[in-house]
Amino acid sequence: MSLYLGLDISTTAAKALVIDSGGRVISSVSNAVESSQPHPLWSEQDPRAWWSSMSRSIGAALSASDGGRVSAIGLTGQMHGLVILDSASQVIRPAILWNDQRTGEQCERIRQTIGRDRLIQLTGNEALTGFTAPKLLWVRENEPEAYARIRQVLLPKDYIRFCLTGEYATDLAGASGTLLMDVANRRWAQEMLEALEIPPAWLPPTHEGTDQTGVVGPQAARETGLREGTPVFAGGGDQSAQAVGVGAVTPDVVALTLGTSGVVFAPCAKYTYDANGRLHAFCHAVPGQWHLMGVMLSAAGALQWYRDNVAGGVDFGVLDKEASTVAPGAGGLVFLPYLSGERTPYPDPTARGAFVGLTTRHTRAHLTRAVMEGVAFGLRDNMELMRQAGITPRAVRASGGGVRSPVWRQILADVLEADIVTVSSAEGAAFGAALLAAVGVGDFGSVAEACARTVRETGRTEPGEGVERYREYHARYRALYPALAAEFAALSRLSDAG
């Protein structure tokens, strides 16, 4: 029996997932990884802690896999993070993560240097604080001693790759999120590197998601229990791998992720981009494909924050049941889910969350439903941009912890006016990484074939009675950010000043 190992280094955990050629999950083990916020807007992690957690996860997953031998390994993980190594391949400073917001000045400098229109055309993206390039400029300007020691720049999952294989490499999907890629031509953008004075030698070779990038070395084999020489494949950034995991690998299938962040993901057969930079245009992990993506920074994470800090830590099932007793519109209460700033459709790190319309008649059930609806409205903003780009899905493949809620699935179906389809591969990005490895080792002829044989539809929620009501409420939601944006910025300046 062929087994495949998918490794996912997320913001919260290091996951190792073993599947067989039929898509059956043999074992899945996660170990937590800790983040630090040493200053306001900062978010960092120690890459060495990633490997410590991942090696434990791998060992435990192998122990639980009935003695089967892993024939191929695929990688995925959080995108945009900056890992810098010195000439001895040692970590120079903690990794700066995707949700770090310190680089506003550097983003503006990139726009001025390249020109905003050319930047979007070339890289497929606006200069956003989460991306890798502005983080690298921030290190140059604020930590010059650390910058002077840099010899290699990696993304988080590619540090795990280095620990496994001793090789520097990255996938095209992950590299697209650095703001240093010529996305249309699937290569590093010399124009960007020259303009920003970043040495090309610092960047690893790029690969399609099914390319082999090395083999497990002796030290990694001893630390994990993997067989030395096991091939390791490129994989993809977490959103591309997640899309593979739910079968969004052809232009007719749109994927939605309701995790800590919220993502709408649309595969494309050719390079296309949003001239206003509201949508991300990246290479897909599927060879020769691209994708458009809209990202809101707080989705199921907003409900987690609400549960932990407002709702007294009660069980999510209790909140779900209470929300089901409230009619669409939450009694005139609207929630803005901008708890970590926002990316799509408002690239604004100073955007803030808010409940608008509170009265004494609102209960916890109303607040819970308003949070769910506010996230759905944000995802609708993303979906409408997709529709403007010519993508008109009638069904959306949904994954992530939030879609376990039947109430939230119905809200999404009504707000998005599309069927919400759940699938068998609940393990998400790690599952997709394992499938990419299975294709790479030759056990499937293509990524589409691998998905067709392993990903099955498990449920479908159709739009219901809330559609018309939610059209009215979404209009009110859309009016709130423009009305409050200046006040959000003012409050951000006040809080930064202490």
Can you give the three-state secondary structure of 351-393, one letter per residue? CCCEEECCCCCCCHHHHHHHHHHHHHHHHHHHHHHHHHCCCCC
DSSP track, 28-92: EEEEE---B-SSTT--EE-HHHHHHHHHHHHHHHHHTTTTPPEEEEEEEE-SS-BEEE-TTS-B-
User: Residue 477: what residue type?
Assistant: Y
284: DSSP letter: -
Tell me, yes or no, if the pTM score tops 0.95. no
Residue 191 and residue 260: Cα distance in Å, rounded?
A: 34
Of 382, 393, 359, nearest to 295 by C-alpha is: 382
Domain ranges in the chain with CATH number 3.30.420.40: 3-246, 296-422+465-496
Under CATH, which architecture does the 3-246 domain have? 2-Layer Sandwich (3.30)
CA 168 to chain CA mean position, Å: 22
Query: Nearest 5°: CA angle at 129, between 166 and 112?
Result: 110
pLDDT at 393: 78
Of 213, 216, 245, nearest to 229 by C-alpha is: 216
Of 291, 288, 167, 274, nearest to 237 by C-alpha is: 291
pLDDT at 370: 98
Residue 383 and residue 379: Cα distance in Å, rounded?
A: 6
Rounded to 5 degrees, φ, ψ at 176 are -60, -20
Rounded to 5 degrees, φ, ψ at 193 are -60, -40
Q: Tell me the torsion sign for CA atoms 166, 29, 407, 460.
A: positive
| 238 carries an active-site annotation | yes
Give me the catalytic one of 8, 171, 238, 320. Answer: 238
CB 21 within 8 A of CB 438: yes
CB 334 within 8 A of CB 357: yes
- Asked whether the bond before 345 is cis by omega within 30 degrees of 0, the reply is yes
CB 438 within 8 A of CB 353: no
pLDDT at 498: 67
Residue 235 and residue 244: Cα distance in Å, rounded?
A: 10
Q: What is the pLDDT along the chain (498 residues), one digit of tens a residue?
A: 799 999 999 999 999 999 999 999 999 999 999 999 999 889 999 999 999 999 999 999 999 987 679 999 999 999 999 999 999 999 999 999 998 989 999 999 999 999 999 999 999 999 988 899 999 999 999 999 999 999 999 999 999 999 999 999 999 999 999 999 999 999 999 999 999 999 999 999 999 999 999 999 999 999 999 999 999 999 999 999 999 999 999 888 899 999 888 999 999 999 999 999 999 999 999 999 999 999 998 999 999 999 999 999 999 999 999 999 999 999 999 999 999 889 899 988 899 999 999 999 999 999 999 999 999 999 999 999 998 988 887 779 998 889 999 999 999 999 999 999 999 877 789 999 999 999 999 999 999 999 999 999 999 999 999 999 999 999 999 999 999 999 999 998 898 776
CB under 8 Å, gap of 24 or more: what pairs does 313-317 form?
316/405
CB 237 within 8 A of CB 171: yes
pLDDT at 67: 65
**With 0-12 CB in 10 A as exposed, 13-18 as middle and 19+ as buried, what is 254?**
buried
Q: How far is the CA of 413 from the CAs of 213, 246, 299, 385, 396, in angstroms?
A: 40, 18, 16, 17, 9
Residues in the chain: 498
Tokens read off for 434: 């394992």
Taking each helix axis from N to C end, the angle separating 238-246 and 429-440, rounded to the nearest 10 degrees, works out to 80
CB 373 within 8 A of CB 327: no
User: In sequence order, which residues have a C-beta less than 8 Å from that of residue 460 and are 6 or more positions away?
Assistant: 395, 419, 420, 421, 422
Rounded to 5 degrees, φ, ψ at 447 are -65, -40
pLDDT at 394: 73
Give the 3-state secondary structure of residue 171.
strand
8-36 burial, b at 16+ Cβ within 10 Å, e below that, comes to: bbbbeebbbbbbbbebebbbbbbbebebe
Under CATH, which architecture does the 296-422+465-496 domain have? 2-Layer Sandwich (3.30)
CB 160 within 8 A of CB 51: yes
CB 473 within 8 A of CB 328: yes
Residue 392 and residue 401: Cα distance in Å, rounded?
A: 25
